[in-house]
A = this chain, B = another copy of it.
Amino acid sequence: MTVVVPSSYRRIVLASRPRGAVLPENFRLETVAVPALADGQLLIRNHYLSLDPYMRGRMSAGKSYAASQALDETMIGGTVGEVVASNHAGFAVGEFVGGMLGWAEMGVSDGLLLRKLDISKIALSAYLGAAGMPGMAAWYGFNKIMQAKAGETIVVSAASGAVGSVVGQLAKLRGCRAVGIAGGAEKCAYVVDELGFDACVDYKAGNLAADLKAATPDGVDAIFENVGGECFDAALGRSNAFGRVALCGMMAGYDGSDVSIRSARALLINRLTLRGFIITEHQDCWPEGLAELGGLIATGQLKYRESVAQGLASAPDTFIGLLKGLNFGKQLVKLI
């Protein structure tokens, strides 16, 4: 296989930290030289970049899951791509790999955190969504925290998104009543008609609490929370005794908005168990989870939807849109 390796590639670095809402000027597009590979290194051309809400937390100097994203360094991010040069015995040119090479067209790796990807039955891009980190977040929260049984009712916010869509479909496969919360009639229709949820409430319609009550006549036994704020309060307000809450994200607060839990009394009165988690800390579960998710995708039992932006330069605006919920399904940037 002949691969032409260019002498330079483009990347996006964090130029400044946002104060409140993320702005395009918080990012800077740069062209950098492709470095010479040392022994044990390989060069990867990224096909897709994943954009995810957690990146917003990394952009701030404050405490988040992990260390802040450094200024003037390549923005953190999951990627899938193809090996285009290799001084590593374990990776050959032409192989497909997933990694965390960031907002960049190419990247050098020592192979340590790479995952080889089989694209014979699963599309390459899916490894950034339902067959990757978002899928695992859903799988872990659903199986390890929500522990929902057949016949129970679950609620998941951002239900049309990369994580929420998997939560609801896993719940349906388990025999639960799956109720989503999403923004807008189009997303809600997709969640019910395409993904097979039992109901989906449009939080933008202005009657969130009443609509969720109507959609959960037997209350709510388990909540998967991606958003926080009024979505979370509405779900807590419907909670049953001994309910479980998997707290995966609070997107509503990423721009500094208030995400106070106003239904806090429900945690006590209904004796709820709530656990916050970050999926990268549970690597021991990934082999089992990814095998199950991959099997469901390959057999068509787990559906997903992607929003694909074109070209690295589109990443900042696309990311800003993601934080506003403008995406519809897993947000990707196609790099080649």
- Residue numbers of A with Cβ under 8 A of B are 57, 63-65, 228, 247-250, 253, 258-262, 264-265, 267-278, 281
B264 touches A260 (CB 8 A): yes
Query: What is the chain B residue whose CB lies nearest that of A259?
Result: B264
A278 touches B274 (CB 8 A): no
A-B contact pairs, 26 of them (CB 8 A): A57-B269, A63-B269, A228-B264, A247-B267, A247-B268, A250-B264, A250-B265, A253-B265, A260-B260, A260-B261, A260-B262, A260-B264, A261-B261, A267-B274, A267-B276, A268-B276, A269-B276, A270-B276, A271-B275, A271-B276, A271-B277, A272-B274, A272-B275, A273-B274, A273-B275, A273-B276
A274 touches B271 (CB 8 A): no
Known: A260-B262, A273-B276, A274-B274. 12 other contacts (CB 8 A): A63-B269, A64-B269, A249-B268, A250-B264, A250-B265, A250-B268, A253-B264, A260-B260, A261-B261, A267-B276, A271-B275, A273-B273
Query: What is the chain B residue whose CB lies nearest that of A228?
Result: B264
Which residues of chain B come closer than 8 Å to A270, judged between CB atoms? 276
Minimum C-beta distance from A134 to chain B (A): 16
Minimum C-beta distance from A169 to chain B (A): 23
